[in-house]
A and B are shown apart, each in its own frame.
Chain A
Amino acid sequence: MSTPRVISRGATTSSELDSDYKWGFTIDIETDLAPKGLSEDIVRLISDKKEEPEWMLEWRLKAFRHWVKLDQEEPKWAQIHHPPIDFQDIHYYAAPGSKKGGPKSLDEVDPEILEAFEKLGIPLAEREKLAGVAVDAVIDSVSVATTYQETLEKAGIIFCPISEAIKNHPDLVKKYMGSVVPYTDNFYATLNSAVFSDGSFVYIPKGVRCPIELMTYFRINQADSGQFERTLIIADEGSYVSYLEGCTAPARKKSQLHAAVVELITMDDAEIKYSTLQNWFPGDKDGNGGVYNFVTKRGKALGRNSKISWTQVETGSAITWKYPSVILQGDNSVGEFYSVALVNNHQQADTGTKMIHIGKNTKSTIMAKGISAGKASSTYRGLVKIMPSAEGARNFTQCDSLLIGDQCGAHTVPYIEVRNPTAQIEHEASTSKVSDDEVFYCQQRGISVEDAHFMIINGFCRSIFQELPFEFAMEASQLLKVSLEGAVG
């Protein structure tokens, strides 16, 4: 079997589409690119590029063979529509620069990249501006920079690209990768397991409260490439970490695929707070281009009294298919899901969560806010499952949808499965528009119709934004405003 050696070096041009998406520029850098298509050889090539140990390659191959068996049967139940994806028309590996393994320190990072991240509001080189946040920056398939390494090392915290963790912390990776999302889990998770490129790895040792926020910034740059990152976070007994994730992509005519897998594990008394600002390119006003965001995110609250909390603000992507979930295994464990999903123009989102209650006295809270504008459609789909063992389990779910204009859709599809009589489940949902009375009240105080809408919509999302770290909350509210431009007033 011959492993392909052809590596093309592409320098990309600026934005291809005329769009208001202000993160839509491309970065002009050299890229190490695998040929299009998916085969065992490509899987081997990726593994080889990353200098992975044999066990990792074996795992990838198992996933790949399983994927072949699935015969391109993508999930069909979601309320989304898109032309068939040609999985052979995608680059499964794209790495900025030709250096193997990525740069060792910030000084080695291509200045073009630093500048690009600066433009995205992530000044990697200027620590004081991002004080208190350690950043792992990932472009296409590779992590290009990680800041604040020493501070973290002192506390015994591991925060590094997953490609490094595979080499340097094989025991942890072997033990936990796939333990929450097995490679057989679903079509996209299987695909990711075969071809995943980079992503972050975090380990918080026993009793450590991570002193700073950890952040990974994902950027798709290369045309026709997919991004398949994989993130694994393990919070050992009594530890705490707050992890942030942000994403953008250039404005391209053709849709791009992003199929990530995120796995979280909490031991006894540990807590992970995971926040996402998802702002992948949503496509232009007529629905051209945009990222297909098909993501599997799941946490396992393994230990007693442990807690996993997902907060997401989803404004980007042409299509979002995403259900950050929690398996509440440890007794008294807590799962939370706070979500704002905004769609405009032709965007589609089918998102929600799954709370699987296994342990006794487990608690989950779901607060989902959907906003639909333009010709877009947004669906909340969520499962609350109470297993017979989940004595005294509690769930409270509140889903509210706001419609802006009469061309869009908002849907709520909860699944409630209860197999223990001592559980208490409550689900409430409502759908409405911004009320005329509210807008008039604002106008009577001199505020324009458009500003009134932003203010009211922001208020609608406030309970979710409150869950975000402060800087993220500010940015989320800005994102909302930008994403809604032209939809109201």
Chain B
Amino acid sequence: MTQALSRTDTYLPDFQALQRTAETGGQTWLREMRDNAWSSFSHLGFPTARRGNEKWKYTSVRAIAYADFSHPQDLDPDTGAGAAELKRIAPWNDDWMNLVFVDGRFSKVLSGGTGNANGARVTSLADAIRSDGELVQEYLGRYASVEDDGFTALNTAFLEDGAFIHVPDGQSTSSVVNLVYVTTGRSQPRVSYPRTLVVAGRNSRTTFVESYIGLCQEPYFTDAVTEIVAQEGSRVEHYRLLMESTQAFHVGHCLVYQAKDSEYESASFSMGAGLGRNEFEVLLDAPGASCSLNGLYLTTGTQHLDNMISIDHAKPHTKSRLLYKGILDGKSRAVFGGTVLVRKDAQKADARQTDKNLLLSDEAEIDSKPSLFIYADDVQCSHGATAGHMDDNTLFYMRSRGLDLEAASRMLIQAFAREIIDTVQLQPLRDYLDKIVLEALPTASIRLGGGS
């Protein structure tokens, strides 16, 4: 893939400062890893090229590439975000283990909750690197390759802190792990590099929530990478919430590795970010591995949200289910890119991929590209995509029962969104989403009943 070089040098002073000052607890491998990632990044740059750039066909990252974001070393994570405010805005439950990260760094003061790890290790990544260096080293960067993705390379070059969840074989985190990444308002446009590493041991169970929240009105950039390793027979439940502020740039890359008979379930809710990209790459690397990915994206104003989901059926008898839904309003634009790859010899792969979109305004745009790449014959693969407005007949039916147009359309839009919210198995989170998603839903601003 061709990626034009663009202004990687603006990141250099911060990178050099980090390598000079940041303590790594004597872990030289981390220093090398960053060096290697930096050289990759300076070579790859940002994917701004238009030609032959299928992965970024509908999303231009020029605004990111040509902005000046800084990443100072001397910020105190314990100030800036008010804990009270955070609990009100973020998904939060005092029974959970809540870990708060401010501008990419762990805040002990803001974190809390009564949840306990029950044999699992739940800590900041910086801590884990210091105390569990070997374990972290074994998995960190193993699946998030810096070789072909500029954003991942950049995140890795600035790798310093984030979250670490390790569930040993046969254990489970008895309470939910809640990771809250917040960006706070400071004087200058800022970039943070959240990094999450989840290692689920054999036959273990874990549930975690990962949310990205903006508490400021200035532009900023979040370059996030999440790695999830699901070992044999494990089950990982993952919720991802994108609630950055309207000026924010967000590029998040989540990589999931799945061993034999492992299960990965995710639900992703994207609401905030001026320009947001949500990328999931799932590798089904052994028989019996299965994944289910659900997603809801809501865009309004001039937002641009891009969901890019790749599922790699590398081995036989693997299964994937994907359902993403979008509700678009204003002058916003949403992109859905889905790729299902079934490799040679991955017989009996079973894949289904669906993207559905509701367009509510004249000026919104959806670009959907659900692709299948199949190299094995004994497979069941299908995909579907739809785009359109609410069904006129349904609206009419509802009105003939006495509902007014607005109430009827609101009901339909909510029903459309609820299908995804209902996949959330965590009651407190579902209640939270019910509230924020359903309240945030626009009512149709278009001339309803149009089209003859």
A and B pair up: yes
CB pair A415 B369 closer than 8 Å: yes
CB pair A429 B372 closer than 8 Å: yes
**A22-30, A118-126, A178-186, A397-405: which lies at the interface:** A397-405
Of the candidates B54, B347, B365, B382, the one whose C-beta lies within 8 Å of that of A418 is B365
**B92-100, B102-110, B170-178, B353-361: which lies at the interface:** B353-361
Instruction: Report if A409-B381 is in contact (Cβ < 8 Å); known contacts: A77-B54, A422-B450.
Output: no
Instruction: Report if A406-B378 is in contact (Cβ < 8 Å); known contacts: A392-B450, A421-B446.
Output: yes
* Least CB distance, A137 to chain B, in whole angstroms: 39
**A56-64, A88-96, A262-270, A430-438: which lies at the interface:** A430-438
Contacts of A424 in B (CB 8 A): 386-389, 451
B431 at the interface (CB under 8 A from A): no
How many Å lie between the Cα of A192 and that of B182 in the bound state?
A: 57
Count contacts on A: residues with CB < 8 A to the other chain: 39
* Least CB distance, B39 to chain A, in whole angstroms: 26
Interface string of A422-458 (1 = CB under 8 A from B): 1111111111110000000000000000000000000
Interface string of A28-40 (1 = CB under 8 A from B): 0000000000000
How many Å lie between the Cα of A207 and that of B360 in the bound state?
A: 42
Instruction: Report if A406-B384 is in contact (Cβ < 8 Å); known contacts: A417-B367, A432-B379.
Output: no
CB pair A422 B451 closer than 8 Å: yes
Contacts of A246 in B (CB 8 A): none
Interface string of B441-452 (1 = CB under 8 A from A): 000001000111
A157 at the interface (CB under 8 A from B): no
Contacts of B373 in A (CB 8 A): 409, 411
Contacts of B383 in A (CB 8 A): 412, 427-429
CB pair B381 A431 closer than 8 Å: yes
How many Å lie between the Cα of A379 and that of B380 in the bound state?
A: 17
Interface string of A472-488 (1 = CB under 8 A from B): 00000000000000000
A365 at the interface (CB under 8 A from B): no
* Least CB distance, B48 to chain A, in whole angstroms: 17
CB pair B369 A416 closer than 8 Å: yes
A361 at the interface (CB under 8 A from B): yes
How many Å lie between the Cα of A423 and that of B328 in the bound state?
A: 14
How many Å lie between the Cα of A426 and that of B424 in the bound state?
A: 27
B385 at the interface (CB under 8 A from A): yes
* Least CB distance, A74 to chain B, in whole angstroms: 11
CB pair A414 B374 closer than 8 Å: no
Question: Chain B residue with minimal CB distance to A395?
Answer: B387
* Least CB distance, B437 to chain A, in whole angstroms: 20
Contacts of A462 in B (CB 8 A): none
Question: Chain A residue with minimal CB distance to B449?
Answer: A422
CB pair B377 A405 closer than 8 Å: yes
Contacts of B365 in A (CB 8 A): 417-419
How many Å lie between the Cα of A408 and that of B383 in the bound state?
A: 20
CB pair B380 A432 closer than 8 Å: yes
B362 at the interface (CB under 8 A from A): yes
Contacts of B384 in A (CB 8 A): 426-429
Instruction: Report if A414-B386 is in contact (Cβ < 8 Å); known contacts: A392-B451, A421-B360.
Output: no
B52 at the interface (CB under 8 A from A): yes
* Least CB distance, A301 to chain B, in whole angstroms: 19
B364 at the interface (CB under 8 A from A): yes
Contacts of A413 in B (CB 8 A): 369, 371-372
How many Å lie between the Cα of A210 and that of B144 in the bound state?
A: 62
CB pair B367 A403 closer than 8 Å: no
CB pair B450 A391 closer than 8 Å: yes
Of the candidates A77, A415, A418, the one whose C-beta lies within 8 Å of that of B359 is A418
CB pair A427 B370 closer than 8 Å: yes
Contacts of A415 in B (CB 8 A): 57, 367-369
CB pair B359 A421 closer than 8 Å: yes
Instruction: Report if A388-B362 is in contact (Cβ < 8 Å); known contacts: A406-B344, A429-B372.
Output: yes
Question: Chain A residue with minimal CB distance to B2?
Answer: A76
CB pair B386 A411 closer than 8 Å: no
Contacts of A431 in B (CB 8 A): 372, 374, 379, 381-382
CB pair B381 A391 closer than 8 Å: no
Contacts of B378 in A (CB 8 A): 406, 433
How many Å lie between the Cα of A77 and that of B366 in the bound state?
A: 22
A420 at the interface (CB under 8 A from B): yes
Task: Give B297-326 interface residues, CB cut-off 8 Å to A.
Answer: none
Instruction: Report if A425-B450 is in contact (Cβ < 8 Å); known contacts: A418-B365, A419-B365, A433-B378.
Output: no
* Least CB distance, B145 to chain A, in whole angstroms: 23
Interface string of B74-105 (1 = CB under 8 A from A): 00000000000000000000000000000000
Contacts of A405 in B (CB 8 A): 377
How many Å lie between the Cα of A407 and that of B377 in the bound state?
A: 8
How many Å lie between the Cα of A410 and that of B382 in the bound state?
A: 12
Of the candidates A391, A411, A426, the one whose C-beta lies within 8 Å of that of B371 is A411
Question: Chain B residue with minimal CB distance to A401?
Answer: B374
Contacts of B446 in A (CB 8 A): 421-422
Contacts of B357 in A (CB 8 A): 418
How many Å lie between the Cα of A428 and that of B357 in the bound state?
A: 14
Contacts of B386 in A (CB 8 A): 424-427
CB pair A425 B388 closer than 8 Å: yes
CB pair A421 B52 closer than 8 Å: no
Task: Give A92-134 interface residues, CB cut-off 8 Å to B.
Answer: none
Which residue of B51, B362, B451 has the most chain A CB atoms within 10 A of its CB atom? B451
CB pair B374 A421 closer than 8 Å: no
CB pair A403 B374 closer than 8 Å: yes
Task: Give A67-83 interface residues, CB cut-off 8 Å to B.
Answer: 76-77
B23 at the interface (CB under 8 A from A): no
How many Å lie between the Cα of A21 and that of B309 in the bound state?
A: 42
Contacts of A412 in B (CB 8 A): 371-372, 383
Contacts of A408 in B (CB 8 A): 375, 377
How many Å lie between the Cα of A388 and that of B374 in the bound state?
A: 34
Task: Give A220-238 interface residues, CB cut-off 8 Å to B.
Answer: none
* Least CB distance, A424 to chain B, in whole angstroms: 4
Contacts of A76 in B (CB 8 A): 51-52
Contacts of B215 in A (CB 8 A): none
Question: Chain A residue with minimal CB distance to B378?
Answer: A433
Q: Give me the interface of A with B, judged by CB distance under 8 Å.
A: 76-77, 361, 386, 388, 391-392, 401, 403-433
Q: List 11 A-B contacts (CB under 8 A).
A: A406-B377, A411-B373, A412-B371, A413-B369, A413-B372, A414-B368, A417-B365, A420-B362, A422-B450, A425-B388, A426-B385
Task: List the 5 shortest-distance A-B pairs measured between CB atoms, nearest first.
Answer: A421-B359, A403-B377, A392-B451, A424-B388, A430-B382
